[in-house]
Amino acid sequence: MTESRHIEVLKHILGDKGLVTEVSDMVAYETGARYDQGRAAFIARPVSTAEVSAVVAYCVKNGIALVPQSGNTGLVSGSTPDGSGQQGVLSLDRLTAPYELDRVSRTVKAGAGLRLSDLNTKLEKSGLFFPIDLGADPRLGGMVATNTGGSRFLRYGDVRRNTLGLTVVLADEAGTVLDLSSALRKNNTGIDWKQVFIGTSGAFGIVTECVLNLEPAPRQTATALLVPASPDQVPDLLVAMEDALGSYLSAFEGMSGNAVRAALDHVPSLRNPFQNGAVPDFVILVEISRSSASREGEQPLDAVLEEVLGAIWERDDAPLADAFVGPPHEIWALRHALSEGVKHMGRLIAFDLSFRRGDIMRFLERMKLEMPQAFPDITICDFGHIGDGGVHFNLVVAKDDVRMTDPHFEHALREWVFTVAVEDFGGSFSAEHALGRKNQDFYDKYTPQEIRRLAAGLKAMTSPAQLGTVDF
């Protein structure tokens, strides 16, 4: 437990509402999105960069470790405390200011604690949006720390591509504030320091404010569910769609039949769009969009999509077996229900992997073949971003499976999957959830020694105190 004198000082810095010490009130901050459970010494909830700096400086001077926490929606134990009760959690949930929109520059400066949904709600009247589409509703600081991508990465890129500036507090005795908040899109006057804090899990500093690129919100969209002729023809289908549609193509999402069935079973309001309700083994959600209003005489996007699909269908080597063009809100509702549906099937062991686009289906087919022999009685419920090579490789174990009581079982399963993904396919064991305690061993295993040495040096220079859950 943290000494009472430290608690009193932190209360003085943050005020009564800014510090949580009651055991019952800390549970939500101690519990992760995927079963991890820790014990916090306290929860600090600053409302400004100055308060973050003061808390960090005090904790560093007194040897108190801090774990930055944003929306706490991550899957790799990157934002929850360990079980020691000695780590403080620094939550961004009250850090929602400022909000400064520059319509001409298409940028917004926002507090790192602002949720993605709240940001886009504020932006609606401007006709702009922050183009990172996620099933969860994270806070901006966590999105920066993990470099999230989302379902429309294919068109808009990830958080790194859409971040222009940051304000960051370093974990040193001064609680140094770095103002990297320039909104310039072109600035080659030295090292681009903001990149150090994007995708590095909060280990090098705590993001408190973000300057983000905005895009014109789509005003026309069309969507379809595609059934590929075979798994090995999915890459051909992707290339054909890109060739025909160019920048209109905004999403190309893969969904396994198991994941789709889980969503349909869990959410009765979803409409089953497939003939006679028979869900295919693999389905692709494709979206095309325009940011301009429809013009007189312009071909509607539904017609554009149907025309392209028809041309692909008529090829002698057609990679397409079936297609269902439907309302975007219905089709996206199915995609966004996958995570919750899969989670309710049983005990979920989630992976976030990435591959070269041409390898992703080969990996999935190999897993379907080898999983029953290596780890029987596990259901594969994968879905993800075929357009950028990412896949949420979800494995479901029955809730009463005795293997889940063995602390070595999940680690052995992760090690096997990562070995195949990284060593046999040249993939990444973390596509867009960055690092946390669950994949620390694999960072240590797969990161070259020279890179680890440089990372450790950068950590010592920026935030020498203990910060976050990752050991660089």
User: For the segment 366-404, what is each residue's pLDDT rounded down to a tens digit?
Assistant: 999 999 999 999 999 999 899 999 999 999 999 999 998
At residue 32, does pLDDT exceed 90? no
pLDDT-based confidence at residue 1 (cuts at 50, 70, 90)? low
pLDDT tens-digit map of 311-330: 999 998 999 999 999 999 99
The residue out of 161, 183, 216 marking a domain boundary is 216
**Angle made by CA atoms 438, 444, 447, in degrees to the nearest 5:** 120
At residue 352, does pLDDT exceed 90? yes
| Contact between 117 and 137 (Cβ < 8 Å) | yes
Say if 259 falls within a structural domain. yes
Say if 458 falls within a structural domain. no
pLDDT tens-digit map of 103-142: 999 999 999 999 999 999 999 999 999 999 887 889 999 9
Q: Rounded to an integer, what distance in angstroms lies between the CA atom of residue 136 and that of residue 74?
A: 9
pLDDT tens-digit map of 131-161: 998 878 899 999 999 999 989 999 999 999 9
pLDDT tens-digit map of 445-458: 999 999 999 999 99
Position 13: which residue type?
A: I
Say if 459 falls within a structural domain. no
Q: Are residues 265 and 388 in the same domain?
A: no
The residue out of 284, 304, 338 marking a domain boundary is 338
pLDDT-based confidence at residue 254 (cuts at 50, 70, 90)? very high
At residue 3, does pLDDT exceed 90? no
Q: Rounded to an integer, what distance in angstroms lies between the CA atom of residue 432 and that of residue 428?
A: 10
Q: Are residues 263 and 158 in the same domain?
A: no
Question: How much is the pLDDT for 370?
Answer: 97
Say if 464 falls within a structural domain. no
DSSP string of 213-281? Answer: E-EEPPSEEEEEEEEESSGGGHHHHHHHHHHHHGGGEEEEEEEEHHHHHHHHHH-TTS---SGGG---S
Say if 81 falls within a structural domain. yes
| Residue 461: both structure tokens together | 């220079």
| Contact between 112 and 95 (Cβ < 8 Å) | yes
pLDDT tens-digit map of 255-299: 999 999 999 999 989 999 998 889 999 999 999 999 998 899 899
Q: Are residues 37 and 169 in the same domain?
A: yes
Question: How much is the pLDDT for 2?
Answer: 65
Question: How much is the pLDDT for 35?
Answer: 77
At residue 69, does pLDDT exceed 60? yes
Q: What is the CATH number of the domain that holds 418?
A: 3.30.70.2740
Could you list the residue range(s) of the whole structural domain that residue 399 is in?
346-444
Question: How much is the pLDDT for 240?
Answer: 96
Q: Are residues 2 and 136 in the same domain?
A: yes
Question: How much is the pLDDT for 110?
Answer: 98
Say if 168 falls within a structural domain. yes
Q: Are residues 99 and 17 in the same domain?
A: yes
Q: Are residues 370 and 332 in the same domain?
A: no
Average pLDDT, whole number, for the chain?
94
The residue out of 178, 194, 216 marking a domain boundary is 216
Q: Are residues 246 and 381 in the same domain?
A: no
Say if 453 falls within a structural domain. no
pLDDT-based confidence at residue 432 (cuts at 50, 70, 90)? confident
Q: Are residues 87 and 177 in the same domain?
A: yes
Question: How much is the pLDDT for 212?
Answer: 98
Q: Are residues 62 and 91 in the same domain?
A: yes
| Contact between 354 and 149 (Cβ < 8 Å) | no
Q: Are residues 425 and 276 in the same domain?
A: no
At residue 97, does pLDDT exceed 90? yes
pLDDT tens-digit map of 205-220: 999 999 999 999 999 9
Question: Long-range contacts of range 270-279, CB-CB < 8 Å, 24 or more positions apart?
Answer: 270/330, 270/333, 270/334, 270/337, 271/330, 273/225, 273/324, 273/326, 273/330, 273/331, 273/334, 274/225, 274/324, 275/322
Say if 179 falls within a structural domain. yes
Q: Are residues 207 and 151 in the same domain?
A: yes
SS3 assignment, position 203: coil
Q: What is the CATH number of the domain that holds 292?
A: 3.30.70.2190
**Which of 296, 194, 287, 255 minimizes the C-alpha distance to 392?**
255
Q: Are residues 25 and 108 in the same domain?
A: yes
Q: 392 burial class (0-12, 13-18, 19+ CB within 10 angstroms)?
A: buried
Q: What is the CATH number of the domain that holds 37?
A: 3.30.465.10
Domain count along the chain: 3
pLDDT tens-digit map of 223-248: 999 999 999 999 999 999 999 999 99
φ/ψ of 332, rounded to 5, equals -70, -30
